[in-house]
Structure 1
Amino acid sequence: MKTYLYLLLMVAGICAAPHMSSITELLTLLQQMRESMNLRIETPDDINDVNCISTVFEGIEQLKTNAAMKKFSEFFWKFERLKQSLTPSLGREEKCDTERKSATVFMGNLVTFIRKAALRSARA
């Protein structure tokens, strides 16, 4: 029984490793993006509010269409994969309080969002 449990945990770790690597790459790319942006984006007042997930996705789309972000296409591709894993867990959203803030503030909140999403998916 102990051997079976050990093998099961080892397989789970192997399956989770690529996902965590992807999260690390996302955060690295996001840091590089923060350093090259001057844009105002609708940003949730509370990044922990589940009602604001679609606002985060809309902000990412706004970044994606900015010409300065073309060189970060890898980030958007990786984020799209994360978005697909989060979308099924979205329920009906309620009101989300937002404010137009600099892209740097939005991206700082996005770091928090990505880390929390990674924790949620690791627990699942």
Structure 2
Amino acid sequence: MERAIGALPQEWAPYRLLGVTKLKEGKHYVEAVRVVEAGQLDERRATDGQWYYFLWSPSLTPELVEPLESEYVDSRAAGVLSLSGLINIQYRHQFREREEPTRVGCVPKIRSDEGELVQHEEYEKVYRSLLRSLRKTTT
């Protein structure tokens, strides 16, 4: 993954990888988001089971810099990141005692409550570049 991220378009670098973890607060769960190192994904998977990530470019979504400077906690953090165009990476998720292949996704277009179409064209380009890079590193 580290090599694939290093091959992304430099015009929107540096890229940050955000790890999403569910935490129990009282009776409910919230999602905590922290910046993580791409080279530690296998280690994090083995030690704490973390598998849910987002790829973020602070230059593309500077409005997220302040909340993500420290730990960002929200009951819908993953939804906020996804709808902001960030690329979702589900890395080696365990399901029914089987390891699933890594999945990558992006929400490049959404319609606001007011009916306005919001497009994340740059993130879509980064997403396509990441897919190409991942294909090259796995073949």
So what's the TM-score if we normalise by structure 1?
0.32
Higher relative contact order (CA 8 A, sep 6+): 1
Higher strand share: 2
